[in-house]
Amino acid sequence: MIENKKKPNPVDIHVGSRVRLRRTMLGMSQEKLGEALGITFQQIQKYEKGSNRIGASRLQRISEVLNVPIAFFFEDVPGAQPASGGGLSEPSGSDYVVDFLSTSEGLQLNRAFVKIADPKVRRRLIDLVRSLGDASDAEA
């Protein structure tokens, strides 16, 4: 039997996941984003899954509402040519950052961390987390 449903394009899935990432980082609901765009939360769900493609003007508006440049949605897009000149881009394979920030624990940790004003405390916290990670590696 021939399947009529077309699979979403990997770029549409990636862009949608970046919309979801940024929306959740801001603590914004799908409903609130939909209201800001004049569309339903169901449409936001479809965008975030990649099942509906986001048009250019809508993506522009989403970037304004979520307060990020449009390029944010295309960072680490599958199949993209690596940026030349070094710059500030991370090496490919940094999906772990998106995966981490897509978890409840990752979001909570990120939100709490950015509230720490003292850079020395932030550095000590990083050192603590690193040592805990090294300790679990040694136990394994």
User: How far, in Å, are 1, 29, 35, 48, 114 from residue 51 at the CA level?
Assistant: 22, 19, 20, 8, 33
pLDDT tens, residue by residue, 58-111: 999 999 999 999 999 998 887 766 554 444 444 444 566 667 776 778 878 888
pLDDT tens, residue by residue, 10-65: 999 999 999 998 998 888 999 999 999 999 999 999 999 999 999 999 999 999 99
Do 61 and 27 fall into the same domain?
yes
Do 6 and 47 fall into the same domain?
yes
Do 27 and 68 fall into the same domain?
yes
- Count of the separate structural domains present in the chain: 2
Instruction: Say how far apart CA 128 and CA 12 lie, in whole Å.
Output: 38
Residue 14: which domain range?
1-77
Q: Of 60, 77, 94, which residue is a domain's last?
A: 77
- Residue 103 pLDDT: 77
pTM, 2 dp: 0.65
Do 4 and 70 fall into the same domain?
yes
- Residue 77 pLDDT: 83
Long-range Cβ contacts of 108-115 (<8 Å, 24+ apart): 110/25, 111/27
- CA 24 and chain centroid, separation: 8
